[in-house]
Structure 1
Amino acid sequence: MTDQVHPACDTDRMEADVTAVIEACGGDPRTAIKALLVEQEILEQRIARLASALSFGYVRGSTGANRPDPARP
């Protein structure tokens, strides 16, 4: 029964978030969509930078997996 309660709460939270974004954009839904798309692009660029940095670390072999543990003799 509790599974049926959570979707309603999630929906209420989502609706509140949508309303907050639209209000933050002066009540204009089009401006809100543009702002969200810009934010999405920024986050995608950040993910790409982090992924490339992570990949570079693995290529260099500096993942930390091969380093000796100073606590072990």
Structure 2
Amino acid sequence: MTQQEDAACDADPMEADVSAVIEACGGDPRTAIRALLVEQLIQEQRIERLAAALSFGYVRGQIGVICGRPTSPTS
């Protein structure tokens, strides 16, 4: 890293992360962007799987607290 890049990293902590990602991709910004897009896709797929795994009753708000006692889905 050059002195100018070091100064930018000190001013904005995210710049250090940007530099680290580019360095990890061999200094090629296109490869860094591609890697980040692939990671974003993976995270979106994880979110979709977690959302699908949620109980439908929980999502509708059928499970909650009444008079300080937890309710069951059958009550």
**Residue of structure 2 equivalent to 1:5:** none
Rounded Cα–Cα distance in structure 1 between residues aligned with 2:57 and 2:17: 37
Structure 2's unaligned 5+ residue stretches are 1-8, 65-69
RMSD: 2.6
Structure 1's unaligned 5+ residue stretches are 1-8, 68-73
Residues 14-60 of structure 1: CA distance to partner in whole angstroms, max 9, x if unpaired? 1000000000000000000000000000000000000111144637x
* TM-aligned CA distance change 1:57 to 1:43, over 3 Å: farther
Identity of aligned residues (%): 78
* TM-aligned CA distance change 1:28 to 1:56, over 3 Å: same
The number of equivalent residue pairs is 57
Match among 48, 66, 71 for residue 66 of structure 1: 71
* TM-score relative to the length of structure 2: 0.62
Structure 1 runs, 4 residues or longer, greater than 3 Å off: none
1:3-42 superposed matches below 5 A: 12-42=12-42
State the 1:12 CA deviation. Answer: 1.3
